[in-house]
Structure 1
Amino acid sequence: MIFEKIYTVPTSDELLDKAFRRASRARAGKVTRNKEDILKAHESSIITASNILSDNMANIVRRFPSFDEIPRLYYELADILVGVDEIRKSLSSVDWASKKIHEISRYYIGKMRTSRDAVTVKKEAFGRIASITKSVDSDLVFLNRARNILRKLPDIYDEPTIIVAGYPNVGKSSFVAYVTDARPEIASYPFTTKGVSIGHLISNSKRYQIIDTPGLLDRPMSERNSIELQAITALEYLDAVVLYIVDASETCGYPVDQQKKLLDEIRTEFDLPVLVASNKTDIEHKEIDFADMEISSITGQGIDGVLQELISMIEKQEEKNRDHPVSTESSSP
């Protein structure tokens, strides 16, 4: 996943402790028999400390992905959860500090070679280096928090997708498990308390992913907070169709008319094709006049037909997108 390469971001104190300990060892490892040796030992201290700080900060910046190049879904989710502009500002600050420390070390190395007091020059250099490092501490703390949040995002691929929606206990997870070859992966969105179930299947040599999103598409929009509503909107950036499952038996605990209202809301909120499947038709159930097809996720009845219809809908959507392409580039600079 695109955010997995981001390592833990250390604080300024952790960076300084590492840099100055290494600098001390570098100086101790030098022979100090004469004035020239002593000068080289102090130079080595400055070079070692600055290189460690500069390189570590440069690596922090490098390991964050370019938000101009990641899939739009992840851009939107990162913006919802952390704030892309805030991440960019903090990365810019850390990048500045990395370059500034390198620049300062070169200045003090030159100054040390013309000074009679190498120890004082080294102290000045360390003071400047420490001051710059501490000036970006809040950025380092923020970036580590962002890293911890973004790494929790589920691994959703940029490939044809079926989003499964409907109230809890209507049979969504059973459907995902039935049509996928292996046990679906379970990953948690940082803004929900339930795991997102992601499965994959191959049809005509083409791979599709199926996503069950508990906590997002399983209750009325009026019951959601602003972050959840934004997350729902972000799902539209997937090349997807929606399968809405209705429990025709009402054993899920929600009456059919209530399930119909959620369907209407999803159709209003989503600019994506929707297929409605009436589930649990293997037991006593109601006839659903707004359903497109009937299934039983327990016996498998009708599921192959629903799956083929969903794939057909995806193909039509892809054809439509080819004929009328929509830009997904970020509007942010």
Structure 2
Amino acid sequence: MIFEDLPTTPTSEELIDKAFSRAARAGKAKGGLEAQQSMLQTAANIISDNLENVVTAWPDFEYDAHPFYYELADAIVDVDALRQSLSEVMWASRKAREIHEEYQPRLRKTDVDTARKHRKQAFARLADIVEQVDDHLLRINEARNDLRDLPEINPDEPTIVVAGYPNVGKSSFVNDVTSARGETASYPFTTKGIGLGHFERDHIRYQIVDTPGLLDRPPAERNEIESQAVSAIEHLADCMLVMLDPSAECGYPLDSQLELRDSIAAQFETVPVLTIANKTDRADVWDDSRTDAMNADYTMSVETGENVETVLEAAVEAVDYEPTLPFEEEQ
């Protein structure tokens, strides 16, 4: 995941203390004018290099981030605001170098007292530059902390997303057909971790994702961030399985479940959407009108295992994934 290795961003106070303490040590190792020159060069280099490293550690959102992670990041931290902060920090890095270039010649052909005066002036200006971007450094570090918590999903793997109201059997299905067994990852804006599992077919690795808190309720009940996160999932999903509980033992009427199914199908209109009626072992509580209303593509029972493998194979067929061969990438 492109955000997991982002380094901690220093505060302005931490960076100033680091630069000036290192500069003081550099000055003690020398004397006269050379000491003042060494102190200025050390402080300016540390400030400029550290600020530049803050910026270059981040990926280029346009070219390095998959659209899934781009939209997810934008939902959490506002990518445009983050870019602005990174731009301001890079400005401060360049400004520190300019201050060094401006003052260093003044420290060469003068007496020590005058050189010390110029060096102190340069230090004051360096500190002022760093303090000017303190809010931006804080924003960048907050964004780093938030984005490091994103789920480690590989957007390049063929992905099946499971949707539907709570308690219809989504997590049981994911656990049953994969090695998930409760494997979860965290979204910063949901109370429950997503369900995540993997399986292989014909040497191809597939991932199945269940997103509680996002696709388990109608669009009107999602806040702005959650809605944008659902938009991000549009870039991730290669197939949608919308699971229903016709018995309504999940606590939601079938009509409400069908309305959610229809809203998901409308939003993911470019992705195959399969309607799966779970809990056939409870068929005694179904009736013909419910069967007709569901218009389900497949029925199954995760509880008994009936048709579970059939549903999984149907999802794989709907994904219709063809891996890119090495010689095709070179063309």
Q: TM-score, normalised by structure 2?
A: 0.90
Give the corresponding residue for 2:101: 106
Give the corresponding residue for 2:133: 136
Aligned length: 312
Offset at 1:8? 1.4
Q: In structure 2, list runs of 5 or more residues that go unmatched.
A: 324-331
Offset at 1:194? 1.4
Inter-CA distance 206–175: structure 2 relative to 1 (3 Å threshold): same
Inter-CA distance 228–247: structure 2 relative to 1 (3 Å threshold): same
Between the aligned partners of 2:183 and 2:169, the Cα distance in structure 1 is 17
1:90-239 equivalences under 5 Å are 90-116=85-111, 117-158=114-155, 159-183=157-181, 185-239=183-237
Matched AA of 1:218 = D
Offset at 1:239? 4.5
Verify: 1:83 aligned to 2:81, yes or no.
no
Verify: 1:11 aligned to 2:6, yes or no.
no
Matched AA of 2:38 = S
Secondary structure of 2:232 counterpart? helix
Larger deviation, residues 284-293 vs 274-283 = 284-293
Secondary structure of 1:282 counterpart? helix
Indicate if the aligned counterparts of 1:233 and 1:270 stay in contact, CA closer than 8 A.
Answer: no
Offset at 1:269? 2.1
1:33-48 equivalences under 5 Å are 37-48=31-42
Indicate if the aligned counterparts of 2:162 and 2:241 stay in contact, CA closer than 8 A.
Answer: yes
Inter-CA distance 62–228: structure 2 relative to 1 (3 Å threshold): same
Give the corresponding residue for 1:59: 53
Secondary structure of 2:142 counterpart? helix
1:154-198 CA-partner distances (Å, limit 9, x unpaired): 112122110100111111011111111343531221222211111
Indicate if the aligned counterparts of 2:180 and 2:196 stay in contact, CA closer than 8 A.
Answer: no
Between the aligned partners of 1:223 and 1:118, the Cα distance in structure 2 is 66
1:75-126 CA-partner distances (Å, limit 9, x unpaired): 1111222121111111111111112212211321211112321210110110
Secondary structure of 1:114 counterpart? coil
- Identity over aligned pairs, percent: 51
Indicate if the aligned counterparts of 2:176 and 2:302 stay in contact, CA closer than 8 A.
Answer: yes
Q: In structure 1, list runs of 5 or more residues that go unmatched.
A: 31-36, 320-333
Between the aligned partners of 2:151 and 2:180, the Cα distance in structure 1 is 17
Between the aligned partners of 2:192 and 2:276, the Cα distance in structure 1 is 23
Matched AA of 1:298 = E
Give the corresponding residue for 1:240: 238
Indicate if the aligned counterparts of 2:163 and 2:242 stay in contact, CA closer than 8 A.
Answer: yes
Verify: 1:313 aligned to 2:310, yes or no.
no
Indicate if the aligned counterparts of 1:5 and 1:64 stay in contact, CA closer than 8 A.
Answer: no
Verify: 1:68 aligned to 2:67, yes or no.
no
1:271-313 CA-partner distances (Å, limit 9, x unpaired): 2221111111123442533211111112221111101111111
